[in-house]
Amino acid sequence: MRTRIRRAKAAQTAAMVLTGLAAAFIVAAALYLLAIIVMRGLPGVSWEFLTQPPRGQMKEGGIFPVIVGTLALTGLTAAVSLPVGIAAGIYLSEYATRGRVTRIVRLAISNMAGVPSIVYGLFGLALFVNLMGFGKSILAGGLTLACLTLPVIITATEEALRQIPSDLRQASLALGATRWRTIYRVVLPAAAPGIVTGSILGLSRAVGETAPILFTAVAYYKRQLPTSLLSDVMALPYHIYIMATQVTGRPDEIVWGTALVLVAGVTLVSVAAAGWRSLQRRKVRW
């Protein structure tokens, strides 16, 4: 009996050590990734790097138009995906009844989240670039990225709305408010922190995507800034790709610097959003 227990305890220790090592390995890999991007990227980043266009066949100069291009794409993505995504989230949480249609909608949303980004690129090429005739442009790229971001925003909105107790909805309805007024004046304001944070997380993923904009938005090199929604643009992730694989003889720190700008932008915004949400949560408790 003793030995059985001792053996079980030994097995437990071994299991804890092994699984702990696995977790430590993954965490270490993540930290290594962070460290190498920061260490190698920092020497390349300067005020000039952020505010100057590339020069000398992109082997010198900065990435200003690249940053502007990514911001423009992200702006359009947000402008399209936020209203549609939030409305769809409201539908699922506030209007949809339990039934077959809702179940299919839910399956479709989670399936959409798993569609490869290159397939969104093909879809955008076929629909926005060719059929609608937008050409390679901010408009076509932004719409494509919006499709990709939608499931994240829908899910975030629905979850944030579900956190709001149904007591509040009932109270508003009992005061003679319509369904929509109840949502608009009571439920949405209460759920705003969750919706905003989830949406920012979704958008920050879109910022880093390359494959969807490959055929729908990006230019290899473009010195001047975009003038309309129908301009093509440079973009951070695509710039990293071409600099890493197609520009020979470029100094490494330009690519690392661009990678750092992209990763830092995405991470800092996400961290700020998450921090803001937990601050709001502390203020209001259900």
Partner 1 sequence: MARSSTTRRRIGRPVSSRAADGAVRKLITANGLVAILILAAIFLFLAFNSQRALQEVGILTMLTGREWYPTIGVPRFGFLPLMAGSMVVTLTALVMSVPVSIAAAVFVSEFATRRVKEISKSIIEFMAAVPSVVYGFVGLAVVVPWVKEVFQLSSGLSALSAAVVLAFMIAPTIVSIAEDALHAVPNELRQGSLALGNTRWQTTYKVVLPSASSGVLAGVMLGMGRAIGETMAVLMLTGNAAILPSSVFDSVRTITGTIAAEMGNVVQGGLHQSVLFNLGLVLFTITFIINLVADLVLEKQRKRWRR
Partner 2 sequence: MALASEKKGAMVIGIHENSSNGGEFELRDVSVTYGSELAVAGVSMDIERCAVTALIGPSGCGKSTLLRCLNRMNDEVSNATVGGSIKLDGTDIYGKDMDPVELRTRVGQVFQKPNPFPMTIYDNVAYGPRTQGLRQRGALDDLVERSLKRAALWTEVKKDLKKHAFELSGGQQQRLCIARALATQPEVLLMDEPASSLDPISTQQIEDTIAELKSSVTIVIVTHNMQQAARISDWTAFMLRESMEEPAALVEVGETRSMFTNPGDKRTEAYITGRFG
Binding site for partner 2 (CB under 8 A): 97, 165, 167-168, 170-178, 181, 185-186, 189-190, 284-285
Strands of the chain (E only): list them. Answer: 54-55, 60-61
**Among partner 2, partner 1, none, what does residue 192 contact (CB within 5–8 Å per kind)?**
none
Closest by CA position to 50, among listed 64, 70, 71, 37: 64
Q: Which does 104 bind (CB under 5 to 8 A by kind): partner 1, partner 2, none?
A: partner 1
Q: What tokens appear for 69 in the block?
A: 């291009």
Which partner from the list partner 2, partner 1, none does 132 bind, CB cut-off 5 to 8 Å by kind?
none
User: In degrees rounded to 5, what are phi and psi of residue 148?
Assistant: -70, -30
Q: Which two tokens stand for residue 60?
A: 């010198």
Token pair, residue 20, equals: 């702990």
- Contact (CB, 8 A) for 97 and 166: no
Q: What's the token pair of residue 213?
A: 């904009």
Side chain identity, residue 210: T
Give the one entry of partner 1, partner 2, none that residue 116 binds, where binding means its C-beta sits below a cut-off of 5 to 8 angstroms depending on kind. Answer: partner 1
The item of partner 1, partner 2, none sharing an interface with residue 119, based on CB under 5 to 8 Å by kind, is partner 1
Q: How far is CA 166 from CA 90, 174, 182, in A?
A: 14, 12, 11
Nearest to partner 2 of 100, 285 (CB atom): 285
What amino acid is encoded at 67 in this protein?
A: I
Among partner 1, partner 2, none, residue 22 binds (CB under 5-8 Å by kind): partner 1
Q: What tokens were used for 122?
A: 């093909």
Q: Of 43-51, 52-60, 165-173, 254-262, which part binds partner 1 (CB under 8 A)?
A: 254-262
Which span sits near partner 1 by CB under 8 A: 48-56, 58-66, 116-124, 160-168? 116-124
Query: Could you say whether residue 12 binds partner 1 (CB under 8 A)?
Result: yes
> Rule CB under 8 A: is residue 150 a binding residue for partner 1?
yes
Distance CA 268, CA 270 (A): 5
d(Cα 268, Cα 159) in Å, to the nearest integer?
23
Footprint of partner 1 on residues 159-218 (CB under 8 A)? Answer: 176, 178-181, 201, 204-205, 207-211, 214-215
- Residue 39 binds to partner 1 (criterion: CB under 8 A): no
Least Cβ distance, residue 277 to partner 1 (angstroms): 13
In the complex with partner 2, the residue whose CB is nearer, 83 or 165, is 165
